[in-house]
Amino acid sequence: MLTEPRLTWNVIADVRQLFDFPFMVNALRAGTIVAVLAAVIGWFMVVRRQTFAGHTLALIGFPGAAAATLLGVGVLYGFFAFCAAGALVIALVPRSGSTRFSEESAVIGTVQAVALGAGFLFVTLYHGNLNGLSALLFGSYLGVTGTQVTTLLIVAACGTLFIAIVGRPLLFASVDPSTASANGVPVTLLAVGFLVVLGLTAAEVSQITGALLVFALLVLPAATAQALSTRPGRGIAIAVGVSVAITWLGLGVAYYTPYPIGFWVTTFAFVAYVGSLGGRQIVRTVHR
Amino acid sequence: MTTAIELDQVYVRLGGHNAVCDATLVVDPGEFVAILGPNGAGKTTLLKAILGLLPVAEGGLTVFGHPPRHSDVRVAYLPQRRNFDPGVRIRGSDLVRLGLDGHRWGFPLPFLDRRTGAAQRVRDAIERVGASSYADRPIGEMSGGEQQRLLIAQALVRRPTLLLLDEPLDSLDLPNQAAVAALIDDVRREGSITVLLVAHDVNPILQYLDGVIYMAGGHAICGSPADVITSETLSNLYGTPIEVLRASDGRLVVVGHPEPPAVHSDRHEHAH
């Protein structure tokens, strides 16, 4: 067995080497689960223009994780509990009809500020080591356990099932809420449900990319897909493909280099997005 | 024969005050009727009551002889609309499709489509409004007139017998206003659909109208355009002198409209 990563010219041997370590196998499993969920939920988040909410929900995970560490509970549960609670707060703060969106931003901004402040307090109380802090914020793929993979899988399955059941009315409510409501779509209920699922998704993505870099998997694959296709089914399929590919690439490259996974996943996601915009521009020029 | 819409001394309360006040009116099947009046007069509230989205506080309201039901498939509704943002990357045809089955649970999967007639119904509705050439483009990249045609297709795809439109001509330039008004009239004649349309300016639709409902401060009067849009009737309705002038081309100009200025800012928000 190898003791340290060594890149050879034999690609098959390199890939096989990744699977020699149980921690790498767990990281790949967790990464794949997270990537699929992030792409599906992210696609709807981008259509619904709730990226600010998504970002805030991810940041709320940080005090959750810090509080869990302080209490000696699993970090993952801290993420889930805080993200879901934060989603409910954002969804249920009452606001009046026409100024809904500006007020929503104010509520989200407030929640975000309070959450970050609390997170910093918890970290200080723990006298936490800085390694743990940077993993919470910028991601790490080390030390994912089999139990965590199972938990991630269950939550991801629930999130995907939610979309499978409400996907069509959710799309209607996202692009055309007033007509959807007149046609009998429970617009408000769907909005609350989606925010909670978005919160859980942000918590899952944080496990790989850290709380600050969730957009690498939540926004960029979805934005890439939207640039490439205007069809919902095809768009989500592209998003999943991009998301899984950049996660695998990120994990593989992070294993062989001393640089952190958050950086690699973000970089590959960015390359995919810029590539899709460029591709769209070329297609347009050719069509003219 | 049952009436399409019948209101008998209807009151609708909105936030503690009467948004619709003692409204009595009848719309017969197949008629094209406009709801006119200044902002805040209760036009949209009246539409929402007919849709069953708002409860009637007092009086009797029937739609085809029955109390209004929320999400009745025979009633199609075009809400008052801002244009779609240029960033909305959903195809026009998908939006029309959502009008047909968007309220159903599940996820839209393209390969399930071939077995149902749904795709054909969507194509027919798009063809009907003359949008076939651009329906597959993202809705956000279309002009206001193109968007409005697709939204009418979205309403027609459910094959309604009553079409309620809230200011569908508002965001359009004059040639498009005339074209969309003519399209609505065509659709109505062809499908014997009853049309109730909230408008700010009566002129683009005047030649098609069977009746008008003029509203002011929650009160409504209804009748033929020639009876209602007169200096005398409108002066009585508003309780202030109003003059109706007829231009040489037949267009009507209402002078002395009491427009509450506060509501204006509200309208601008919708326009975005």
Q: Which of A193, A192, A186, A157 is nearest to A169 (CA)?
A: A186
What would the 3-class secondary structure string for B120-138 be?
HHHHHHHHHCCCCCCCCCE
Q: Is A171 a domain residue?
A: yes
pLDDT greater than 60 at residue A94: yes
Q: Which of A248-252, B125-129, B169-173, B187-191 has the lowest mean pLDDT?
A: B169-173
Residue A41 has a pLDDT of: 97
Query: Exposure string (b/e) for B161-186, b if CB count within 10 Å is 16 or more?
Result: bbbbbbbbbbbbeeebbbbbbebbbe
Residue A192 has a pLDDT of: 93
Residue B38 has a pLDDT of: 82
Q: Is A223 a domain residue?
A: no
What would the pLDDT profile of B104-127 be if each residue is shown by its tens digit? 898 877 666 665 788 889 999 999
Residue B266 has a pLDDT of: 40
User: Do residue B103 and residue A169 have CB atoms under 8 angstroms apart?
Assistant: yes
Residue A45 touches chain B, beta carbons under 8 Å: no
| Overall average pLDDT of the B181-206 stretch | 91
Q: How confident is the model at residue B262 (pLDDT cuts 50, 70, 90)?
A: very low
Give A235: exposed, middle or buried? Use CB within 10 Å, 0-12, 13-18, 19+: buried
Check: CB of residue A152 under 8 Å from CB of residue A33: yes
User: Do residue B107 and residue A183 have CB atoms under 8 angstroms apart?
Assistant: no
Name the residue of chain A whose CA is nearest to B141's CA.
A230
Instruction: Round to whole Å and give the CA distance between B180 and A202.
Output: 45
Q: Is A123 a domain residue?
A: yes
Residue A176 touches chain B, beta carbons under 8 Å: yes
Residue B270 has a pLDDT of: 41
Could you tell me the CATH number of the domain that includes residue A81? 1.10.3470.10
Instruction: Round to whole Å and give the CA distance between A192 and A93.
Output: 11
User: Do residue A165 and residue B103 have CB atoms under 8 angstroms apart?
Assistant: no
Looking at residue B91, the DSSP 8-state letter turns out to be: B
User: Do residue B102 and residue A165 have CB atoms under 8 angstroms apart?
Assistant: no
Q: How confident is the model at residue A248 (pLDDT cuts 50, 70, 90)?
A: very high
Residue A217 has a pLDDT of: 93
Residue B112 has a pLDDT of: 63
A-chain residues near B108 (CB < 8 A): 167-168, 171, 232-233
Residue A106 has a pLDDT of: 82
Name the residue of chain A whose CA is nearest to B269's CA.
A98
Would you list which residues of chain B are within 8 Å, Cβ to Cβ, of chain A?
Answer: 51, 53, 70-71, 77-81, 84, 88-91, 94-95, 98-99, 101-110, 138-139, 151, 154, 266, 269-270
Cα distances from A29 to residues A23, A147, A157, A207, A244, in angstroms, run 10, 12, 14, 12, 11
Angle at A125 between CA A124 and CA A130, to 5 degrees: 40
B-chain residues near A99 (CB < 8 A): 269
Distance from the Cα of A209 to chain B's closest Cα (Å) equals: 27
What would the 3-class secondary structure string for chain A be?
CCCCCCCCCCHHHHHHHHCCCHHHHHHHHHHHHHHHHHHHHHHHHHHHCCHHHHHHHHHHHHHHHHHHHHHCCCHHHHHHHHHHHHHHHHHHCCCCCCCHHHHHHHHHHHHHHHHHHHHHHHHHHCCCCHHHHHHHHHCCCCCCCHHHHHHHHHHHHHHHHHHHHHHHHHHHHHHCHHHHHHCCCCHHHHHHHHHHHHHHHHHHHHHHHCHHHCHHHHCHHHHHHHHHCCCHHHHHHHHHHHHHHHHHHHHHHHHHCCCCHHHHHHHHHHHHHHHHHHHHHHHHHHHC
Check: CB of residue A251 under 8 Å from CB of residue A31: yes
Q: Is A285 a domain residue?
A: no
User: Do residue A185 and residue B103 have CB atoms under 8 angstroms apart?
Assistant: yes
Q: Is A275 a domain residue?
A: no
User: Do residue B105 and residue A166 have CB atoms under 8 angstroms apart?
Assistant: yes
Looking at residue B158, the DSSP 8-state letter turns out to be: T
Maximum CA extent, chain B: 63
Q: Is A58 a domain residue?
A: yes
What would the pLDDT profile of B2-55 be if each residue is shown by its tens digit? 889 999 999 998 888 888 888 888 999 999 999 998 888 889 899 989 988 889
How many alpha carbons lie under 13 Å from residue B14 in its C-beta half-sphere? 17
Q: How confident is the model at residue A197 (pLDDT cuts 50, 70, 90)?
A: very high
Q: How does the average pLDDT of chain B come out, rounded?
A: 85
Q: How confident is the model at residue B251 (pLDDT cuts 50, 70, 90)?
A: confident
Name the residue of chain A whose CA is nearest to B140's CA.
A175
* Domain with A60 in it: 19-95+102-212
A231 closest CB neighbour out of B71, B91, B102? B91
Residue A81 has a pLDDT of: 93
Residue A7 touches chain B, beta carbons under 8 Å: no
Select from A230, A234, A236, A277 the residue whose CB has the most chain B CBs within 10 Å, as the one to mutate to test that interface: A230
| Overall average pLDDT of the A211-219 stretch | 88
How many domains, in total, are found in chain A? 1
Q: How does the average pLDDT of chain A come out, rounded?
A: 87
The residues that bridge with B62 in the sheet, in sequence order, are: B6
Neighbours of B76 (CB within 10 A): 25
Instruction: Round to whole Å and give the CA distance between A24 and A34.
Output: 15
A-chain residues near B91 (CB < 8 A): 230-231
Residue A92 has a pLDDT of: 83
| Overall average pLDDT of the A179-183 stretch | 88
- Radius of gyration of chain B measured on its C-alpha atoms: 19
B-chain residues near A175 (CB < 8 A): 84, 88, 90, 95, 98, 139
Name the token pair of B25: 């009116």
Residue B265 has a pLDDT of: 37
Q: How confident is the model at residue A97 (pLDDT cuts 50, 70, 90)?
A: very low
Q: Is A112 a domain residue?
A: yes
Residue A223 has a pLDDT of: 93
Name the token pair of B227: 């009876």
Q: Is A288 a domain residue?
A: no
Residue A243 has a pLDDT of: 96
* Between residues A109 and A161, the one the model is more confident about: A161
Q: How confident is the model at residue A145 (pLDDT cuts 50, 70, 90)?
A: confident
Residue B271 has a pLDDT of: 39
| Overall average pLDDT of the A232-240 stretch | 94
Residue A150 has a pLDDT of: 94
pLDDT greater than 90 at residue A34: yes
Query: Exposure string (b/e) for B214-251, b if CB count within 10 Å is 16 or more?
Result: bbbbbbbbbeebeebbbeebbeebbeeebebeeeeeee
| Overall average pLDDT of the A117-132 stretch | 76
Phi, psi of B84 (to 5 degrees): -70, 140
pLDDT greater than 70 at residue A100: no
Q: Residue A52: what residue type?
A: F
User: Do residue B98 and residue A233 have CB atoms under 8 angstroms apart?
Assistant: no
